[in-house]
Amino acid sequence: MLFGLFRFDWTILIVLPALFISIWAQIKVSSTYHKYSSVRTKRNVTGYAAARAILDANGLHYVKIEHVRGHLTDHYDPRANVIRLSDSVYGSDSAAAVGVAAHEAGHAVQYAQDYAPIKLRMAIIPVTRFGSMLAIPLFFIGLILASDLFMLFGIVLYSAVALFQLVTLPVEFNASARALRAIDGAQILTNDELAGAKRVLSAAAMTYVAALLTSLLTLLRLLVLAGGRSNRR
């Protein structure tokens, strides 16, 4: 019975475009960052210095900046009020590093100014974590057992994941916009260097677009599978 259930599962084709776009986006980020990581800033501004300048300009002297190991593991921790910059960003004076560091500083400014989308994203994170782990298993258990309740629960949980990805888009785009304005306003980079930083952040933004597309198409697949099960009854 199980073989018959999954033998002709054409619905996997629904998510394939998102898979290809995700792979392309990751390659684009890697290649763009590599290209502009070799473009050194004429003013020798490092990722750390750029982030510190943006934080201080916005009165966020209390936000610390730490060095963490890894490549592009950069993030802002709102609970600890700390920006963590990776090996390839913290001490690098490349246009790419400055762009990434400024982006994380943009997130810190968002929290300080109570930017609504980021508050919404924080509010739904617990449900999203729960949903990302259990939604798919619950749905397919429901599909196998012909349980509408399990399938519905899985769809609802995965909808929270899709909502999180949707809310993430304006958060990330806004952080990049803040970063580029701050870099330009403080004249941290020359026009050519700023263009490079912008390309790095634009490439990174595509990974969030790909993540949203993946979640939406996966949700569509679940709905199609659930509808097909109902039609076969």
Structural domain boundaries in the chain: 2-231
| pLDDT reading at 2 higher than 50 | no
Secondary structure class of 113 (helix, strand, coil): coil
Other beta carbons within 10 angstroms of residue 147's beta carbon come to 16
Quickly state the pLDDT bin for 228 (edges 50, 70, 90).
Answer: confident
Using pLDDT thresholds of 50, 70 and 90, give the confidence band for residue 9: confident
Distance from C-alpha of 79 to C-alpha of 108, rounded to nearest angstrom: 11
**Residues 182/82, Cβ–Cβ less than 8 Å:** no
Query: pTM of this prediction?
Result: 0.89
Question: How many angstroms separate the CA atoms of 93 and 99, rounded?
Answer: 10
Q: Give the Cα separation of 71 and 209 in Å (integer).
A: 21
Say if strands 75-77 and 64-67 run parallel, antiparallel, or are unpaired: unpaired
Residue 193 a catalytic site member: no
Tokens of 1: 């019975």
Mean pLDDT computed over 174-191: 96
Which candidate in 66, 104, 172, 193 is catalytic?
104
**70-114: per-residue pLDDT in tens?**
999 999 999 999 999 999 999 999 999 999 999 999 999 999 999
Closest CA to 200 of 24, 29, 21, 26: 29
Provide the greatest CA pair distance for the chain. 69
Phi then psi for residue 75, to 5 deg, are: -165, 165
Look at 1-5, 43-47, 159-163, 189-193 and tell me which has the smallest mean pLDDT.
1-5
**Both tokens assigned to 66:** 């730490």
**For residue 216, what is the enclosing H or E element?**
helix 191-231
